[in-house]
Structure 1
Amino acid sequence: MLAALALLTAGLLAFHRAVPNSVGRLGSLLEAFLPWLGLVVVMLLGLALLRRSAAALVALLLPVATWTYLFGGLLLPGGSKPGARDLVVVQHNVSDENTDPAGTARALADAGPDVIALEELVPPALTVYEKTLAQDYPYRAVRGTVGLWSKHPLTGTRLPDIKPRGIAEDWSRGLRTVVHTPHGEIAAYVAHLPSVRVGASGLASSWRDESAGLLGKAVAAEKVEAVILLGDLNSTVDDRGLAPLTSQLNVAERGFAFSFPAAFPLARIDQVMARSGTVAHIRTLPATGSDHLPVAARITLD
Structure 2
Amino acid sequence: MVEQVRADSGATSTSPSTVTAVLRRVVGAGEGAEGRSAWRRGRVLAGLAVVTAGLLAFHRAVPNSVGRLGSLLEAFLPWLGLVVLVLLGLALLRRSALALVALLLPVAAWTYLFGGLLLPAPDSGPRDLVVVQHNVSDENADPAGTARALAGAEPDLIALEELVPPALAVYEKTLAPDYPHHEVRGTVGLWSKHPLADTRLLDIKPRGIGEGWSRGLRTVVGTPRGEVAAYVAHLPSIRVGASGFASALRDESAGLLGEAVAAEKVKAVILLGDLNGTVDDRGLAPLTSRLNVAERGMAFSFPTALPLARIDQVMARSGTVAHIRTLPATGSDHLPVAARIRLE
Q: TM-score range by the shorter chain?
A: over 0.9
CA distance in 2, matches of 1:127, 1:24: 41
Deviation, 1:169, is: 4.0
Identify which of 248, 256, 275 aligns with 2:317.
275
Runs (4+) of structure 1 moved beyond 3 Å? none
Q: Please tell me whether the aligned partners of residues 32 and 238 of structure 1 are also in contact (alpha carbons under 8 angstroms).
A: yes
Could you say which residue in structure 2 is the equivalent of 1:69? 112
Could you say which residue in structure 2 is the equivalent of 1:193? 235
Could you say which residue in structure 2 is the equivalent of 1:135? 177
CA distance in 2, matches of 1:108, 1:59: 45
Identify which of 241, 245, 250 aligns with 1:203.
245
Identify which of 90, 100, 111 aligns with 1:47.
90
Amino acid in structure 2 at the alignment position of 1:106: R
Q: Secondary structure at the match of 1:280?
A: strand
- Where do 1:74-223 residues align within 5 Å? 74-80=117-123, 82-223=124-265
Deviation, 1:161, is: 1.6
Identify which of 15, 38, 49 aligns with 1:6.
49
Q: Please tell me whether the aligned partners of residues 114 and 150 of structure 1 are also in contact (alpha carbons under 8 angstroms).
A: yes
CA distance in 2, matches of 1:191, 1:160: 8
So what's the TM-score if we normalise by structure 1? 0.99
CA distance in 1, matches of 2:228, 2:333: 30
Please list every run of 5 or more consecutive structure 1 residues that lacks an aligned counterpart in the other structure.
none
The reply on whether 1:32 has 2:56 as its aligned counterpart is no
* Pairs aligned (count): 301
CA distance in 1, matches of 2:208, 2:250: 11
Give the CA RMSD over aligned residues: 0.5
Please list every run of 5 or more consecutive structure 2 residues that lacks an aligned counterpart in the other structure.
1-43
- Where do 1:278-293 residues align within 5 Å? 278-293=320-335
So what's the TM-score if we normalise by structure 2? 0.87
Q: Please tell me whether the aligned partners of residues 199 and 219 of structure 2 are also in contact (alpha carbons under 8 angstroms).
A: yes
Q: Please tell me whether the aligned partners of residues 202 and 215 of structure 2 are also in contact (alpha carbons under 8 angstroms).
A: no
Could you say which residue in structure 2 is the equivalent of 1:57? 100
Amino acid in structure 1 at the alignment position of 2:246: A
Higher relative contact order (CA 8 A, sep 6+): 1
Deviations 1:153-206 (A, max 9, x none): 000000122000110241100000000000100000000000000001100010
Could you say which residue in structure 1 is the equivalent of 2:63? 20
Q: Please tell me whether the aligned partners of residues 294 and 320 of structure 2 are also in contact (alpha carbons under 8 angstroms).
A: yes
Deviations 1:83-141 (A, max 9, x none): 21000000000000000000000000000000000000000000000000000000001
Amino acid in structure 2 at the alignment position of 1:301: L
Of 238-247 and 154-163, more deviation after overlay is shown by 154-163
Computing the radius of gyration over CA atoms, which structure comes out larger, 1 or 2? Answer: 2
Amino acid in structure 2 at the alignment position of 1:274: A
Deviation, 1:254, is: 0.3
Deviation, 1:68, is: 0.2
Deviations 1:244-292 (A, max 9, x none): 0000100000000000000110000000000000000000000000000
Q: Please tell me whether the aligned partners of residues 166 and 207 of structure 1 are also in contact (alpha carbons under 8 angstroms).
A: no
Amino acid in structure 1 at the alignment position of 2:117: L
Amino acid in structure 2 at the alignment position of 1:6: A
CA distance in 1, matches of 2:171, 2:269: 25
Percent identity over the alignment is: 86
Deviations 1:26-56 (A, max 9, x none): 0000000000000000000000000000000
Q: Please tell me whether the aligned partners of residues 255 and 281 of structure 1 are also in contact (alpha carbons under 8 angstroms).
A: yes
